[in-house]
Structure 1
Amino acid sequence: MLTGIHVAFIGGDARQLEVIKRCIQLDASVTLIGFDNLESIFTGATKRPLSCDVLRDVDALILPVVGTDDDGYVESIFCSKPLRLLEEHAASLQKHCVVYTGMAKPYLRQLLAASQITLVELLDRDDVAIYNSIPTVEGALMMAIQHTDITIHGSQAIVLGLGRTGMSMARALHALGARVKVGARRQEHLARIYEMGLTPFHFSELKQQVTNADFIFNTVPHLVLTAEVIAQMPQTAFILDLASKPGGTDFRYAEKRGIKALLAPGLPGIVAPKTAGKIMAQTLSRLIAEQTITRGSQHE
């Protein structure tokens, strides 16, 4: 239970609604900032404007999956006015307050560090990232089917990266009957790909491996699908970049070659916001409860 804990939400999308419901269910005191246009009314939650006074007694502050942009603006689909997190807001938070977000840009990290406020990035956690890979893979398969005229079964599919999403993507493609090759750099990843019954290759071989690819799914968040690599692909290839912006693809050159290439970050919130929200809610409620226990033990 979160009885006696003040949880504030600033902005967000449909995923936040599941987290709000969970916090109310666990008896937290909930403040909603940037939810002016939200039609559904949560009993037990209070809508307030963004101000230092509102933030002064907050125990846990929950931001959207991408906390702020490079200038401190917080995205909210439920508010028509811009929300900007400033130095004065961070300074008004109590030292025990913990700020939770999916991933933080340097602006947010520096802002909170200056006020010695703890920041937790949920997408850095293995459990959240693995759970999130499920709707990511489902959304990726949906987009691949929508944008091509061949079946995944029997296709030549390449997955780049064997992280949490890459592994789930490779398994799903294999289960659907694709001939799957997976590119990685680390020897233990290449060994794991082999153990999974897939075809491993090192990134240094990428140009040679893409010559007959039907689908390329990239999960690596830096430029790997360069112009030199894309030049070796058949024009019918379809690239789906699942890495965070700006992705790992030279989209300009792909377009020049007539190869369809799409950047698709944040698929869980697009294709399955309710499921993605429940994943966040489950983890956040546990972390906030643990934060409360830790704080209580420090005061004893």
Structure 2
Amino acid sequence: MLTGLQVAVLGGDARQLEIIRKLTELDAKIYLAGFDQLEQSFTGAVKENMEDIPFEQIDAIVLPVAGVQATGEVETIFSNGNLRLSKETFDRTPNHCIIFTGISPPLLTNMAEKTGRKLVRLFDRDDVAIYNSIPTAEGTVLMAIQHTDFTIHGSTVAVIGMGRVGMTVARTFKHLGADVWLGARRSEHLARAIELGLTPFKMNELAAVAEKADIIINTVPSLVVTASAIAKMRPHTLIIDLASKPGGTDFRYAEKRGIKAILALGLPGLVAPKTAGQILANVLAELLKNDATK
């Protein structure tokens, strides 16, 4: 239980609702800012204006997955008002206050460092990434269906990257009957591809694989789907890039060649916000419990 813990949830989207629900169930006291248009209510949670939150008593601040914008503004879809986070906000909190975010833009990192507050980037955690790979894979399937005129079953799919997302995506498309090729640099990843029943290829072989692929799915956050590979693709080939912005595809050349290439950011929050929120809520609750027992 989190009885006695006081948490400020500042802005966010539908995923934040699952976090609020979980923390109130665990008996934490929650202050909500940026939720004035939310009709749903939670026992143990109170809506406040940002300036009325008693930050001097707050044990943790939960920010949206994107953290804050370069201006310090906090994204919220449940309010027409503006929320702005500043170093002064952090200064008002106790020294033990923890800041939770999905990712941490430079401004947020800088504010946490200058005030000595612990900053937890949930999206950097292996457990969150692995859990999130499930709705990401399902969202990728949805995009493949929406943007092609052929079935996944029987198609040739090249997945680039054998990380936490790549493995789940490759396995999902294989279960749907695709002929899945998996590209990686490390020999142990190529061996794992064989163990999973996939066809491995080295990264320098991508151009040759691109000639036969119907769908190419990239998970590597650096330029790997280059012009030389795109030049080999057939007109119907679909590229789905799951890597963080700006992705790992030469989108300019793909457009020039008439190859459809999609940068698919934030799929968990788009296709399964409830599940994505529950993933964050469960991990965050465990972190708060562990911190409370120290």
TM class, shorter-length: over 0.9
SS at match of 1:216: strand
Match of 1:73 in 2: 73
How far is 1:251 from its partner?
A: 1.6
CA–CA separation in structure 2 for the residues paired with 1:80 and 1:244: 28
Question: CA-to-partner distance for each residue in 1:97-116, whole Å, 9 max, x for gaps?
Answer: 11111111222111101111
Determine if contact 1:52/1:88 at 8 Å carries over to the other structure: no
How far is 1:61 from its partner?
A: 0.7
Match of 1:263 in 2: 263
TM-score (norm 1): 0.94
Determine if contact 1:153/1:178 at 8 Å carries over to the other structure: yes
Determine if contact 2:135/2:276 at 8 Å carries over to the other structure: yes
Aligned length: 294
Determine if contact 2:67/2:102 at 8 Å carries over to the other structure: yes
SS at match of 2:171: helix
Question: CA-to-partner distance for each residue in 1:164-214, whole Å, 9 max, x for gaps?
Answer: 110000001111111111111122211111211111112122122211110
TM-score (norm 2): 0.96
Match of 1:273 in 2: 273
CA–CA separation in structure 2 for the residues paired with 1:38 and 1:227: 47
Match of 1:100 in 2: 100
SS at match of 2:81: coil
Question: CA-to-partner distance for each residue in 1:82-102, whole Å, 9 max, x for gaps?
Answer: 322112112222110111111
SS at match of 2:61: strand
How far is 1:269 from its partner?
A: 0.8
Match of 1:45 in 2: 45
CA–CA separation in structure 1 for the residues paired with 2:236 and 2:255: 12
CA–CA separation in structure 2 for the residues paired with 1:288 and 1:45: 17
CA–CA separation in structure 1 for the residues paired with 2:226 and 2:173: 24
CA–CA separation in structure 2 for the residues paired with 1:142 and 1:263: 14
CA–CA separation in structure 2 for the residues paired with 1:104 and 1:204: 33
SS at match of 1:37: coil
How far is 1:142 from its partner?
A: 0.7
Question: CA-to-partner distance for each residue in 1:21-55, whole Å, 9 max, x for gaps?
Answer: 11111110100011121121222211122238632
CA–CA separation in structure 2 for the residues paired with 1:222 and 1:64: 25
Match of 1:10 in 2: 10
CA–CA separation in structure 2 for the residues paired with 1:25 and 1:52: 24
Match of 1:187 in 2: 187
Change beyond 3 A, Cα 1:137–1:245 = same
Q: After the TM superposition, which of the residue ranges 252-261 and 21-30 deviates more from structure 2?
A: 252-261
Q: After the TM superposition, which of the residue ranges 209-218 and 241-250 deviates more from structure 2?
A: 241-250
Question: CA-to-partner distance for each residue in 1:116-161, whole Å, 9 max, x for gaps?
Answer: 1001111111111111111111111011001100011111101111
Alignment of 1:110-259 (within 5 A): 110-259=110-259
How far is 1:81 from its partner?
A: 2.1
- Give the unaligned 5+ runs of structure 1: 295-300
Q: After the TM superposition, which of the residue ranges 69-78 and 107-116 deviates more from structure 2?
A: 69-78
CA–CA separation in structure 2 for the residues paired with 1:191 and 1:224: 21
Amino acid at match of 1:33: A
CA–CA separation in structure 2 for the residues paired with 1:105 and 1:157: 33
CA–CA separation in structure 2 for the residues paired with 1:186 and 1:72: 40
SS at match of 2:37: coil
CA–CA separation in structure 1 for the residues paired with 2:66 and 2:274: 17
CA–CA separation in structure 2 for the residues paired with 1:98 and 1:270: 27
Question: CA-to-partner distance for each residue in 1:253-292, whole Å, 9 max, x for gaps?
Answer: 2111111111111111111111111111111111111111
CA–CA separation in structure 1 for the residues paired with 2:246 and 2:84: 23
How far is 1:228 from its partner?
A: 2.3
SS at match of 1:7: strand
Determine if contact 2:31/2:53 at 8 Å carries over to the other structure: no
- Give the unaligned 5+ runs of structure 2: none
The percent of aligned pairs where both chains have the same amino acid is 55
CA–CA separation in structure 1 for the residues paired with 2:51 and 2:232: 54
SS at match of 2:77: coil
CA–CA separation in structure 2 for the residues paired with 1:86 and 1:227: 43
Change beyond 3 A, Cα 1:51–1:187 = farther
